Amino acid sequence: MKILIVEDERKLALLLKQGLSEAGYGVTLAAACAAARDALCETSFDAIVLDLGLPDGDGLELLRQWRRSGFNEPVIILSARDAVQDRIKGLDFGADDYLPKPFSLQELLARLRSLLRRQASVKDTVLEHRGMRLDLVGRTLHFNGQPVDLTNREFALLEIFMQNPGRILPRTLICERVWSSPYDVDANLLDVYMSKLRSRLETEGDKPLFKTVRGVGYKLQ
């Protein structure tokens, strides 16, 4: 289980890192909004612990941007701002839980466990993004409530994107997952499949679902 801790108070950050590591989590620390953005673009996390007062911006704004770009990692806000309005705002912006400072490490660990349990029961079975609802157990896709037929390959391809919304996925990684090898695949095959998915799911005039990142890969946005 990988946890991203966004906290600028070094002492507290290190204490959290130690506590969570001892509880068996893999921990990445970010001390500012920019570092947190980078960390989340590079890899996925099972949960994020987010402080609000950060040196280069507001954690709430960061959370709002993440949710708008489709990042769906569960987030626990840690903050000295414990006014009810702040809690409401945090939850409205997409936080899953809110822990006012000062807090006990034991309580944070308990809340993390609860969050990860909740996440595990829905995670991996139904993925949703911008009107798409991908049911991994039933192997069905609904788009704006309408069923869409996909071949097995198309389904596998879409699944990777739905598990990593907002993240740039390198071509080699996609090919490795969908065709089990980055090498056997004809260079154009991925593009052919991407244009099939696009023609099924994208509507002219709307913001495209998939973005081509030249020379790198694709992103579900």
Residues in contact with Ca ion, total (CB under 5 A)?
A: 3
Interface pick for Ca ion out of 40, 46, 48, 51 (rule CB under 5 A): 51
10 or 139: whose CB is closer to Ca ion? 10
27 or 169: whose CB is closer to Ca ion? 27
Tokens representing 126 are: 């139904």
If DSSP codes are grouped into helix, strand and coil, which group holds residue 171? helix
44 or 65: whose CB is closer to Ca ion? 65
Whole-angstrom distance, CA of residue 135 vs CA of residue 35: 33
- Residue 53 interacts with Ca ion (CB under 5 A): yes or no: yes
We find the least distance from the C-beta atom of residue 67 to Ca ion, in angstroms, to be: 21
* Helical segments of 27-98, H only: 33-42, 59-68, 84-92
Tokens representing 116 are: 């990860």
Burial state string for 96-109 with b = 16 or more CB within 10 A and e = fewer than 16: bbbbeeeeeeeebe
Q: Which stretch binds Ca ion (CB under 5 A): 8-16, 101-109, 119-127, 129-137?
A: 8-16
Interface pick for Ca ion out of 4, 8, 73, 185 (rule CB under 5 A): 8
14 or 122: whose CB is closer to Ca ion? 14
We find the least distance from the C-beta atom of residue 26 to Ca ion, in angstroms, to be: 23
- Residue 57 interacts with Ca ion (CB under 5 A): yes or no: no
Question: 215 φ, ψ to 5°?
Answer: 75, -5
CB–CB of 141/155 below 8 Å? yes
Identify the bridge partners of residue 195 per DSSP, sorted by sequence position: none
**The tokens 């912006």 sit on which residue?**
93
We find the least distance from the C-beta atom of residue 27 to Ca ion, in angstroms, to be: 17
We find the least distance from the C-beta atom of residue 113 to Ca ion, in angstroms, to be: 24
Q: Which stretch binds Ca ion (CB under 5 A): 45-53, 112-120, 153-161, 164-172?
A: 45-53
8 or 159: whose CB is closer to Ca ion? 8
Whole-angstrom distance, CA of residue 64 vs CA of residue 221: 15
Tokens representing 57 are: 């911006």
Query: Is residue 74 reached through a cis peptide bond, with omega within 30 degrees of 0 on the bond before it?
Result: no
Binding site for Ca ion (CB under 5 A): 8, 51, 53
